[in-house]
Chains A and B, each alone.
Chain A
Amino acid sequence: MTAEVEQQAELQRLARVLGVRPKELGFLDGAAAADVRALRDTVADELFERHRRSFERAVALAGRLPAGLTATLAQRAMGPVLGARAAALLAPGDAAELARRLPPAFLADVAEHMDLRKAGPLVAGIPPETLRETAAELRRREQWVVLGMFVGHVETDVVAPLLDVLDGEALLRTALVVEHPECLDGILAVLPDARLDDVLEAAHRHDLWSEAVWLVSQLSPVQGARVIEAIERMQADALDRLAELLVAETELRRAAKPLIKLAPRHLRQRIGA
């Protein structure tokens, strides 16, 4: 990920915590992504602690009411912002039961405001079908930054079944803004070859080769080799386009160098490397 993309993703996340539009944070344009992230954590903790007592009471009440009524209150009374903050205090079993009773659209709203440092461990207990429907809703909304937050905060075995509802384009756009790029190798490892082909096809169709090359730059040699094999399976027109781009775009070529090194001679010749 380029430093600029990483910084913009962090500004979007901070904007959500502050309830503002990202452009209102233009005064932070000079800050590094890591500093914006640290600021987000500080502010999120501060807002959470300010209302902790209220959230504790809300969670205590949830424990005394029928689950269906709690779900109604989550939507009608708490709403997504407060609901996301209070969720951090739920016991895993209660979080799972509540999530099961909430519509995916509301869960997607909650996900947009969730502090996964606190609530991440709860996600594993949520029924896979509920998670899949929520992920599909976030994909429909093109909430790449939100989807990207889950990588690294949620175990790979929980994320893996969600990959089915994310097409190649979604995977590339999300990969670019994940909070923990070091986890991408593990994610790609559980992606079947056919899905890897979808990702490259999406790179071709949506002109996302920069995203694809960046993704590959995060991978181990084992997964990088799988990508090379997938490139060899690509249609001729897609391969021609990649070759064209590698010749025309110096930066892309530089970024793709580790990948090109892994390629067999005939493929290097094919793409003009």
Chain B
Amino acid sequence: MARMQRTLPDGIAVLGPEVAHRIDTLVAREARREDEQLAEALAVTLRVVPRPLRGVARRVLGA
């Protein structure tokens, strides 16, 4: 994932580039985890939704 551009609060930015880098790493890790969870959520939804509603679900979810 591309490095995220965010404005850190002054009191955090002043702690230096190493701290900013560690925050980047943790945010990227959580973002990836949520990507995976969302992909899994989509798959589960399409399994759980009863067949007659699956078409609607696919359309609304853009699957």
Q: Mark A residues whose CB is within 8 Å of B.
A: 17-20, 24, 27-28, 30-32, 34-36, 38-39, 42-43, 46-47, 50-51, 54, 57-58, 60-61, 64-65, 69, 72-73, 76-79, 81-82, 85
Q: Which of A24, A42, A81 has the most CB of B within 10 A?
A: A42
Q: Which of B8, B12, B41 contacts A78 (CB 8 A)?
A: B41
A73 lies within 8 A of B49 (CB): yes
Q: Which of B41, B49, B56 contacts A82 (CB 8 A)?
A: B41
For chain B, residues 1 to 55, give those with C-beta under 8 angstroms from any C-beta of chain A. 4, 6-12, 15, 18-19, 22-23, 26-27, 29-31, 33-35, 37-38, 40-42, 44-45, 48-50, 53
B41 lies within 8 A of A34 (CB): no
CB neighbours of A47 from chain B (8 A): 27, 30-31, 34
Given A51-B38, A57-B61, A61-B60, are A77 and B45 also a contact pair (CB < 8 Å)? yes
Q: Mark B residues whose CB is within 8 Å of A.
A: 4, 6-12, 15, 18-19, 22-23, 26-27, 29-31, 33-35, 37-38, 40-42, 44-45, 48-50, 53, 56-57, 60-62
Q: How far is the CB of B57 from chain A (nearest CB, A)?
A: 6
Q: Closest chain B residue to A42 by CB distance? A: B6
CB neighbours of B49 from chain A (8 A): 65, 69, 73
CB neighbours of B40 from chain A (8 A): 77
CB neighbours of B35 from chain A (8 A): 51
Given A47-B30, A50-B34, A61-B61, are A79 and B41 also a contact pair (CB < 8 Å)? yes
A32 lies within 8 A of B30 (CB): no
CB neighbours of A77 from chain B (8 A): 40-42, 44-45, 48
Q: Which of A24, A35, A60, A81 contacts B34 (CB 8 A)?
A: A81
CB neighbours of B10 from chain A (8 A): 35
A31 lies within 8 A of B15 (CB): yes
CB neighbours of A58 from chain B (8 A): 41, 61
CB neighbours of A32 from chain B (8 A): 11
Q: Which of A28, A42, A60, A78 contacts B7 (CB 8 A)?
A: A42
Q: How far is the CB of B50 from chain A (nearest CB, A)?
A: 8
Q: How far is the CB of A259 from chain B (nearest CB, A)?
A: 32
Please give 15 more A-B residue pairs, beta carbons under 8 A apart, in addition to A39-B23, A69-B48. A19-B30, A27-B22, A28-B12, A42-B9, A46-B6, A57-B61, A58-B41, A61-B45, A61-B60, A64-B60, A73-B48, A73-B49, A76-B48, A81-B34, A82-B38
